[in-house]
Structure 1
């Protein structure tokens, strides 16, 4: 791929409003932007989506920086590749650290698509020209939740996800369902329950939810299979699926009826494509999850969600959902609940250098 250099930019930006779940509150987002430059001056961009603390996965911004600087980039320097798919095999000697791997792998995919003068969506097998957009309600009161839902419906979002936990589940969801009887709603538990809560989760069956996402332990497949046999609401797995093998086993065990695919969580676009293809062959719906991303990761998600198996609106919202000003130009926008899939080369968005500089914490530079 004729890589000339790689730059890492650590940035930090406040959210327009705090993102609250039972796991904690995010009011400021730190992340890593990667620029891979080839010898012809073409640049590909990726984003590391680990958080500053290990509340979602064991990875953090600091650990990602360590892995990128001391292991992954040196591997690329020693063993040049000709196609982004080769990065997965190259990084196989480094266990886990999927978000660090995805950060650099997505930059390589963007670079490769630009080198071949085609949209990233088409390069990876995407077919949709428009994708439906969903959004997350993360509120601690019905008043706040209704305010958010009303605004999101006015913005045209196609699906609402509601964060739940044992202190705020059936009464909260049933009131939302009463007020919005025809609204597509899903619940996200972020591992807040155990099998002791089966009756509590069964009660949600009457609310006609699209799914309940990750109700049990973040690393479990077996108990989710037991749960799915006892409830009608489709179980969707998120944190439990960190590889193609996890997806294969989950489907084989009957652990879920739907899978959430996040590029960062599974280690890159190549692994995400493999999971998508496997699910498509077996009739398992997939959708693209979000990580409170900046615009670069959001752009990669748009390309991924254009693939034919993504039949459920994902957590891909407009840039102004979280940010007063994003780091890409143009920003991601939602029109009538839909996002246009870019048709220009690569991810279809440019890095806003001025905004990057305003949010920059520090950067590193590597030559090849």
Structure 2
């Protein structure tokens, strides 16, 4: 398989409810999709980078430039592209995991479609459905928080993740636990605390949480290990886990008992599978995180979350959680479960009319 042409497409997709980033509220989702045309067919990739460098060092315009100038040329020189060869070619360029994951996803989709194999089967998925959890952001008041969670309970989600930060932690969690009883509950700090907050974080032990996700800064594995010794609540690492090697280090240090795997954060679905395998070998449960993907990215995440080690509900939601219209047929949830696509490649195709309506820019590359 050879790369013959690529298309970088930007879309401006309205969000049903605002999404809070590190730099404010997003009312719309600025999306970068990459369509590759190869000698064997076409495939799609979705970039999960945000418009600004907040969640990570990467940002959307920068990722698009790296894809156009460096990543696509790195794979275009190869005559016999396979997913493994794509990953190897991209590894020669340091950093830029979200950009790399986009290119890997698109070429893997094309390669699998040509062979009639689904993402889930190729990665080793064993489940036909994935349990869905929902992430609940910082609310304006505890009353607003309880109302939002009540709506998600009625919709049938299997797990509820509350965002916390200094000043919004123990009392909101207490209120949700008291109001909704034994729902499956966890919290996500997005690295908002330091080891000096250990006594405060220990108060969360009173609420029977599944996990405390990424309480401390990304590089502080030793502090996470020290914190873990002072808490009963299991610590989950998210941003700290950037590769299978980093997962080995975190586990060896005792810095985590659970790992959140986001394919975009770690450079693609092949590295995500390696992290899964490392964690499975050490008895560490994993779950699949989300980054407000469209149906294309959600389809790939569902395939990943079908692997045997993903034993906790995923941050994968039906399309209407984020969008009134999706770029693919709407992904739906029933009884807290979403079916894993089983068609070739991603198993979902974009809706041309919707894609065109929300497209803001298209760059077509025929020379690399």
Residues 78-102 of structure 1 deviation map (CA, whole Å, 9 limit, x = unaligned) = 2344311222211122111000000
Change (3 A) 1:156 1:193: same
Structure 2, unaligned runs of 5 or more = none
Structure 2 match to 1:164: 164
Aligned Cα root-mean-square deviation (Å) = 1.3
Paired residues in the alignment total 366
What's the offset of the Cα at 1:301?
0.3
Structure 1 match to 2:280: 280
Structure 2 match to 1:222: 222
Structure 2 match to 1:204: 204
Structure 1 match to 2:86: 87
Structure 2 match to 1:65: 64
- Measure the CA separation in 2 of the matches of 1:150 and 1:22: 26
Q: Is the 8 A contact 2:130 2:313 kept in 1?
A: yes
Structure 1 match to 2:344: 345
Q: Kindly report which structure 2 residues correspond to 1:33-44, keeping only aligned pairs within 5 A, or say none.
A: 33-40=33-40, 42-44=41-43
- Measure the CA separation in 1 of the matches of 2:118 and 2:78: 27
- Measure the CA separation in 1 of the matches of 2:294 and 2:32: 9
Runs of 4+ in 1 over 3 A off after TM superposition: 21-24
Residues 81-125 of structure 1 deviation map (CA, whole Å, 9 limit, x = unaligned) = 431122221112211100000011011121122111021100111
What's the offset of the Cα at 1:218?
2.4
- Measure the CA separation in 2 of the matches of 1:316 and 1:303: 11
What's the offset of the Cα at 1:22?
6.4
Structure 2 match to 1:142: 142
Structure 1 match to 2:357: 358
Q: Is the 8 A contact 1:22 1:165 kept in 2?
A: no
Residues 109-151 of structure 1 deviation map (CA, whole Å, 9 limit, x = unaligned) = 2112211102110011111011101111112322222222122
Change (3 A) 1:86 1:75: same
Residues 177-234 of structure 1 deviation map (CA, whole Å, 9 limit, x = unaligned) = 0011110011000111001100000010010000011000023211111111111101
Change (3 A) 1:241 1:51: same
Structure 1, unaligned runs of 5 or more = none
Structure 2 match to 1:28: 28
- Measure the CA separation in 1 of the matches of 2:320 and 2:181: 28
- Measure the CA separation in 2 of the matches of 1:227 and 1:303: 33
Q: Is the 8 A contact 1:21 1:163 kept in 2?
A: no
SS in 2 for 1:351: coil
Residues 289-342 of structure 1 deviation map (CA, whole Å, 9 limit, x = unaligned) = 0111111111110010000000000100000001010111x2111111000111
Structure 1 match to 2:96: 97
Change (3 A) 1:22 1:232: farther
